[in-house]
Amino acid sequence: MRKEFAPVLNLALEEALTYLRHVDEKPVGATASLADLRARVCKSWNIEPTAATEVIRDLVGDIAGGLNNSVNARFYAWVIGGALPSALAADWLTSTWDQNAGMYAVAPAAAIVEEAVGAWLIDLFGLPERTSFALVTGCQMAHTTCLAAARSWLLKRQGWDVERQGLAGSPPIRVLCGSRHATIDRALRLLGIGDASLDVVATNSSGALDPAALEKALRGMANSPALVLLQAGDVNTGGFDNFEELLPMVREHGAWAHVDGAFGMWAAASPRYEYLLNGVELAHSWATDGHKWLNVPYDCGYAFVAEPEAHRTSMSTQASYLSHQSEARDPLDWNPEFSRRARGFASYAALRELGRNGVRELVERTCDCAKQIVAGLGQLRSVEVLSAPIINQGLVAFLDPEGRPSDEWNDRMIAAIAREGTSFFSGTTWNGRRAMRISVSNWQTSPEDVKRTIEGVARAIQKCYEPEAAIK
């Protein structure tokens, strides 16, 4: 080993362990201001080289207070998981090994590890055996990958080869959807399917598509290529579409069904919640994340496609300088990236560490914690429960001192809870009203964290209302 590595890697280990050892003692949210961080970090670039250990010491010092401590068990914002010990260690090794995981010839072990991860996840989610897959950066690119396959498949059925002819002059694809994550719209735009192509279908209070409304919309498509977007876990309520009722309808009309299961697909691991996914295997494609409920380090997502030919056609490319192996699976044939991190190692480690029963326990425990947090917050004065968790997502809102709904007061309370430091939440707008999201997906979250969270929110309320008014 070159001598330059040992001092800086030992320093990195020391800093990492110090951070993890004390993360529970620090405010969960970032404390440094934008101005402070810019003043410390955005300095003139040095002309001469700097010792590696000095660079790392400066980096740690310069960003102090600028991290949201999302590895903390009481970080409940944006559906962000933590990092399992084996996944974190595997991610360190991923950087050490520095494999470019685009092709088997370039990174043999990385390619085979991805094969194992894909097979395990297809089995866990109960998807058809023929399903193809890709490891990508997250649901943004998982949606893009799946919808590229959908575009290819739908237009081929119209006699149009989009990979050869492009989009200009092609039959327009209509997109039927209800409530959805913003990454879906972005993926469609990246694929040349603009917002004007979206037809919004009526939904119920939890965000699930209304079957009668979808049936009517599909009949109105006639012979036009149609893409239907479904949800396994609404971003606000955690609600699921009724796959058993909707997917046969979609297939009968010759449309493509894509399921956004960024976190909801993991309900398949639990006998308690798997019913929410009944019939989901009838979809054409599915997207989910590893850096949410599987608790692998950022970034990692998974795309699954029930039409492997359309999947590969939309992604694969050939060149004289690429050494394709006839018997091996080349990841670049299945995802948008040529040069890519070997993120399969961390996923492999997490799945091995947990096992099937461990994934089940993680899902069920965090769902229990989400329900307990929402119920506990609902006992505090000024808190109104808007949506009790179906799985791990809930919504509450804060009433102003006069007991009235107030968007301004709600956001003020979210900021006050962050300043109090015990826990960290994010806000959202739901049914035209500002609310606080409770999202529990960290592998460490426990009943003790639930208790501390409720107590911390109560303290924040006491500082914003009359001191005696915090508890009902």
Residue 95: how many other CB atoms lie within 10 Å: 10
pLDDT of 470 above 60: no
* pLDDT at residue 468 tops 60: no
Q: Tell me, which fold does domain 89-350 have in CATH?
A: Aspartate Aminotransferase; domain 2 (3.40.640)
Residue of 99, 145, 122, 5 whose CA lies nearest to 345: 99
pLDDT tier for residue 465 given thresholds of 50, 70 and 90:
confident
Q: What is the mean pLDDT of residues 433-462?
A: 98
Q: Could you give the CA distance from residue 461 to residue 438 in angstroms, rounded to a whole number? A: 17
The predicted pLDDT at position 144 comes to: 98
**CA-CA distance, 237 to 240, in Å (whole number)?**
9
Which pLDDT band, with edges at 50, 70 and 90, does 108 fall under?
very high
Question: By CB neighbour count within 10 A (0-12 exposed, 13-18 middle, 19+ buried), where does 2 fall?
Answer: exposed
pLDDT at 320 (0 to 100) = 57
What are the structural domain ranges in the chain? Answer: 5-69, 89-350
Q: Is the pLDDT of residue 472 over 90?
A: no
Burial of 1 (0-12, 13-18, 19+ CB in 10 A): exposed
| Helix, strand, or coil (residue 398) | strand
More confident residue, 362 or 179: 362
Quote the mean pLDDT of the chain: 95
- Residue 115 pLDDT greater than 60, yes or no: yes
Residue 448: in which H helix or E strand, if any? helix 447-464
Please state the rounded mean pLDDT for residues 157-177.
97
Question: C-alpha dihedral over 147, 151, 153, 158, to 10 degrees?
Answer: 160
Residue 1's pLDDT is 61
Residue 14 banded pLDDT, cuts 50, 70, 90: very high
Write down the pLDDT at residue 41.
98
Q: What percentage of the chain carries pLDDT values higher than 70?
A: 97
Does residue 209 register a pLDDT over 90? yes
Tens digits of residue pLDDT in 234-257: 999 999 999 999 999 999 999 999
Sheet holding 393-398, edge to edge: 383-387, 393-398, 433-439, 426-430
Alpha helices (H) along 228-307: 243-252
**Residues 183-193 pLDDT 10s:** 999 999 999 99
Dihedral sign (CA 278, 284, 288, 294): positive
Residue 89 confidence class, pLDDT cut points 50, 70, 90 = very high
Compute the residue count for the chain: 472
Report pLDDT for 19: 97
Of all residues in the chain, the percent with pLDDT exceeding 90 is 92
Q: What is the reported pLDDT for 317? A: 86
- pLDDT, one tens digit per residue, over 291-338 is 999 999 999 999 999 999 999 999 998 765 666 677 899 999 999 999
pLDDT of residue 445: 98
**3-state SS, residue 258:** strand
Confidence of residue 348 (pLDDT cuts 50, 70, 90): very high
Q: Which residue blocks in 230-284 are alpha helix, DSSP H?
A: 243-252
Buried b (16+ CB within 10 A) or exposed e, 184-195: bbebbeebebee
Helices (H), 23-102: 34-41, 52-62, 85-97
Burial class (CB in 10 A: 0-12, 13-18, 19+), 109: middle
Q: Is 18 helix (H, G, I), strand (E, B) or coil?
A: helix
